[in-house]
Amino acid sequence: MLLKVLNYFLKNGIPKTVSGHYAKPIATPGIFNNIRGFSVVQGDVARIPLKVKAFIEESVALCQPENVHICDGSERENQFMLKALQESGSIIPLPKYQNCWLARTNPADVARVESKTFICTEKREQTVCTPKPGVQGTLGNWISPKDYESAIKNRFPGCMKGRTMYVVPFSMGPVGSPLSKIGVELTDSQYVVCSMKIMTRMGANVMDVISKKNIDFVKCLHSVGMPENGKIAVPSWPCDPERVIILHKPENNEIVSYGSGYGGNSLLGKKCFALRIGSTIAQREGWLAEHMLILGVTCPNGTKKYIAAAFPSACGKTNLAMMTPTLPGYKVECIGDDIAWMKFDSHGQLRAINPENGFFGVAPGTSYETNPNAMKTVVKDTIFTNVAYTSDGGVFWEGLESTIQPGVKITDWLGKPWEMGVSKTPAAHPNSRFCSPASHCPIIDSNWEDPEGVPISAILFGGRRPQGVPLVYEALNWEHGVFVGSAMRSETTAAAEHKGKMIMNDPFAMRPFFGYNFGNYLKHWLSMEKRCEELEGTMPKIFHVNWFRKDKDGKFMWPGFGENSRVLDWILNRIEGNDCHEQTPIGFVPAEGSLRLENLETKINMKELFSIPKDFWLKEVNDIQTYFDNQVGSDLPKEIQGQLDILKSKIEKM
Ligand code: OXD
Ligand code: MN
């Protein structure tokens, strides 16, 4: 094949007037002959470590792109990409803000596709538990090595013809931190490149880390794909929704994603790497990769504690992570809103980093009332996806009604005129997102990039539970806490392809993100206690919270948002070992008077908010048992079954 190598930008830089187009490739044979058969239109090939080069070569041979662009992660490069995206109609500028953009997808490509997400291992049981015969497993999807190969063969050959392949080196976690891991994503989507720049530490220095430390990296191959009939339905948002597939091979540290340009399907550092592959690495190396926010709380006496919290998608993780406390003297600072990597240090203290560099938050419902810090974060350097836009150059979604000035017109996420109070469909897609740099968050914690991570004192589990589940309860011990995580259930949301509202089991908020057999994951969690003991450390306390309990009339019983600082106050007291709790069959709840309620605008029916209805809990216990029997079977650790048995007998005795 003709060797065409362009070193144009390397030599000349990107032109001052960023045009969004590459100059014509210049053939400079011989210089880059380690990379065969394609034009490198941008980037320092000499800086690419050999193993990355091999990955690129192999993927180029498969996908046959026209060009290759090795990303350096510079702002100049970013502007070049944004300009190109604008020229192709993929994004529109939002002049009301600073360097903000709106992307609108093909309406068939709007969420993670869990049903098309697979983990490949030699044996099925390495990936998934064995469900009861006749029951559909819901704890991940396994694919055999043979089917994995053929899924790739059926989709990838030539899928990047006529397009540029971007080489995106990125670090999950601060570059060089002992807790960080490196990935290289190859993608044909500029939207992905720009989003990866926000969501990860991306750039040439990451290549240097791979070379210098000779460390392994996670291979991430992504293509928006090419429909079999060759027709791209929405040229500004190419994708192949019919044949979407998201594949992971933990054994090779490999992710292969085809057909979708959207979020968790395409920004491979996030769910695919930081959670699915991450959890397999964590199991091997003895740490935890979790779907958790991390926040710091400072109380009036100046004591500061860090808390990690797992809630299913779209249950308010970002809101909690950026909370403005209503309790005087309290301060919340944000480390991360979605993912935590946690490891014991040599003193047995669990420490966490946020492996991400940005927020990919659900937009609808975010407002100056619910999350002013997020609103302040998203007005600069943000890529919005599938929100509505306004005639004054801004964005709109459900929850921002009060920000719309008279006379301002709204265009919905599908590009159609939309009128408040008149239009029957939502203006923004329910899973529309903002993608913003974490550093722009006004309450980002000063330690958020600490390479050693922050010390974690408590872990919260939670979900949307309209019935029966109290505002907060504390697990009796670590084993009980692991059981509480395993039994998590929540009302479904729009973050994935599920339709309608139903209560779904979502253990550890990880159901769509486990990289290996859930039973083994539970064993791994249980084993943490011994690990900590050996290091003579103290385990974090575990709590369950539910901001979403409703009364008989369907009204929320707890105001939530900043008022959740009252719950954090009680949790901090418990971390300090204060005797402000009372035992119930399900765990410790606040002793009477210990949950601070002063100055609340609404009267709280504490009795109802903390009631533990016997009928509800008998059913809950049975539902959990059925879930374990159907979904986990013989993979369930005996300790977890033991905890359920104890709970059942306590409830029966109520
Ligand atoms: C997310 C999710 O995008 O959990 O964070 O779905
Ligand atoms: Mn998430």
For residue 315, what pLDDT is reported?
A: 85
Hey, what are 630's tokens? 């159907």
| Cα maximum dimension of the chain | 81
* pLDDT at residue 213, as a whole number: 81
d(CA 438, CA 337): 9
CB contact at 8 A, 110 and 258: no
Distance 338 CA to ligand 2 centre (A): 5
Asked if the model's pLDDT at residue 16 lies above 60, the reply is: no
User: In angstroms, what CA-CA distances link 134 with 130, 137, 180, 516, 580?
Assistant: 11, 9, 41, 22, 47
Mean pLDDT of 483-505: 79
Q: Is the pLDDT of residue 6 over 90?
A: no
When pLDDT is averaged across residues 531-550 and rounded to a whole number, the result is 97
CB 356 within 8 A of CB 338: yes
Q: What is the mean pLDDT of the chain?
A: 92
Distance of CA 274 to the CA centre of its chain: 8
In the chain, % of residues over pLDDT 90: 88
pLDDT at residue 34 tops 70 = no
- Its sign, for the CA torsion 465, 469, 475, 480, is negative
512-523: pLDDT as tens digits: 999 999 999 999
DSSP H helices in 394-490: 478-486
The 8-class DSSP code of residue 602 comes to S
Q: Tell which residue, 623, 606, 604, has the closest CA to residue 615.
A: 623
Measured between alpha carbons, how far is residue 479 from residues 346, 539, 616, 627, 637 in Å? 22, 11, 23, 19, 11
The Cα 605–Cα 586 span in angstroms is 20
**CATH architecture group of domain 360-439:** Beta Complex (2.170)
pLDDT score, position 313: 79
Dist CA 145 CA 248 (whole Å) = 11
Identical fold for domains 37-90+112-286 and 360-439, yes or no, is no
Residue 236: strand, helix, or coil? coil
For ligand 1, the distance from its centroid to the CA atom of residue 139, given in whole angstroms, is 16
Q: What are the residue boundaries of the structural domains of the chain, listed by start? A: 37-90+112-286, 289-357+444-612, 360-439
Label residue 43 by pLDDT band (50, 70, 90).
Answer: confident
The verdict on whether 315 is a catalytic residue reads yes
The string of pLDDT tens digits covering residues 23-32 is 544 333 333 4
Closest-CA residue to 523 (of 373, 634, 426):
634
91: which strand partners? 103
pTM reported for the whole predicted model: 0.94
Closest CA to 461 of 326, 310, 347: 310
Calculate the alpha carbon distances from 556 to 314, 324, 593 in Å.
Answer: 17, 20, 21
3-state DSSP assignment of residue 616: helix
Check: CB of residue 104 under 8 Å from CB of residue 415.
yes
Helix, strand and coil percent figures for the chain, each rounded to 5:
30, 20, 45
Ligand with smallest separation from the Cα of 431: 1
Pick the residue whose CA is nearest to atom 4 on ligand 1: 313
**What is the structure's pLDDT at 497?**
54
- Supply 216's token pair: 């392994």
What's the confidence (pLDDT) of residue 32? 42
pLDDT digits (tens, 9 = 90+) for 160-203: 999 999 999 999 999 989 999 999 999 999 999 999 999 999 99
- CB atoms < 10 A from the CB of 28, how many? 15
Exposed, middle or buried by CB within 10 Å (0-12, 13-18, 19+), for 2? exposed
Residue 50 has pLDDT above 70, yes or no: yes
Beta-bridged to residue 165, according to DSSP, are 68
pLDDT at 4 over 50: no
Q: Hey, what CATH topology would domain 37-90+112-286 get?
A: Phosphoenolpyruvate Carboxykinase; domain 1 (3.40.449)
Three-state secondary structure call for residue 99: coil
Token look-up 């989507």 returns 189
Rounded to the nearest angstrom, the distance between the alpha carbon of 291 and the centre of ligand 2 is: 6
Ligand index nearest the alpha carbon of residue 339: 2
Lowest mean pLDDT among 27-41, 285-299, 401-415, 543-557: 27-41
DSSP state of 563: G
Which of 120, 159, 239, 315 is an active site residue? 315
Best mutation site among 265, 360, 431, 498 for ligand 1 pocket (most ligand atoms within 8 Å of CB): 360
**Angle at which helices 518-534 and 278-285 cross, to 10°:** 40
Pocket of ligand 1 (CB under 6 A): 112, 263-264, 313, 338, 360, 495
Of the pLDDT bands very low, low, confident and very high (cuts 50, 70, 90), residue 496 is: low
The yes-or-no verdict on residue 614 having pLDDT over 60 is yes
Say how many Å lie between the CA of residue 163 and the centre of ligand 1.
28
> How big is the CA angle at 13 (ends 7 and 17), to the nearest 5 degrees?
130
Work out which ligand 1 atom sits closest to the CA atom of 495. 6
Query: Residue 547 in contact with residue 536, Cβ under 8 Å?
Result: no
pLDDT band at 37 (very low <50, low <70, confident <90, very high): low
CATH of domain 289-357+444-612: 3.90.228.20
